[in-house]
Amino acid sequence: MLSMSDIQAKLDPLFPGLMGVTLTELAPDRVVATLLVRPDLCTGGGIMHGGAYMAFADTLGAVGTIVNLSAGKGTTTTDSSTKFIAGARVGSTVTAECLALHRGRSTLVWQTSIRNADGKLCAVVTQTQLVLEARQ
């Protein structure tokens, strides 16, 4: 299994790194991370943008899947459903917990709960990751 620091190093130069995703816990069935709600991740009202919630959760589902892949395999998201419940204000930190609902041979299903600094549930994202065969 790749270490959390190895995966963080792979994320940092990519979009998740640009967003500021920081992994804090990593296991085959659970990924936890934090994200500082910066102005550039917000709507005009200083509330975290829905797309930022979705990208944050998508990253964690992909990370969870990568931890479960055998050598040479890859992954891509095939579907995602987001329920927005509350907001997170600019300057605060949100925490996401991503749990495996299904870990099969060809698909993995993850559910991510994102909470604001007060612990209030802001969004729930359920996604399916497809396991890709190694490229020839």
Q: Look up the pTM and report it.
A: 0.96
Question: How does pLDDT run across 80-136, given as a tens digit for each residue?
Answer: 999 999 999 999 999 999 999 999 999 999 999 999 999 999 999 999 999 999 776
Sign of CA dihedral 60, 81, 101, 86: positive
pLDDT tens-place string over residues 13-51: 999 999 999 999 999 999 999 999 999 999 999 999 999
Q: In the predicted model, is pLDDT for residue 8 greater than 80?
A: yes
E strand segments, 1-136: 22-27, 30-36, 74-84, 93-103, 107-115, 121-132
Q: Which amino acid is at 87?
A: G
> Exposed, middle or buried by CB within 10 Å (0-12, 13-18, 19+), for 83?
exposed
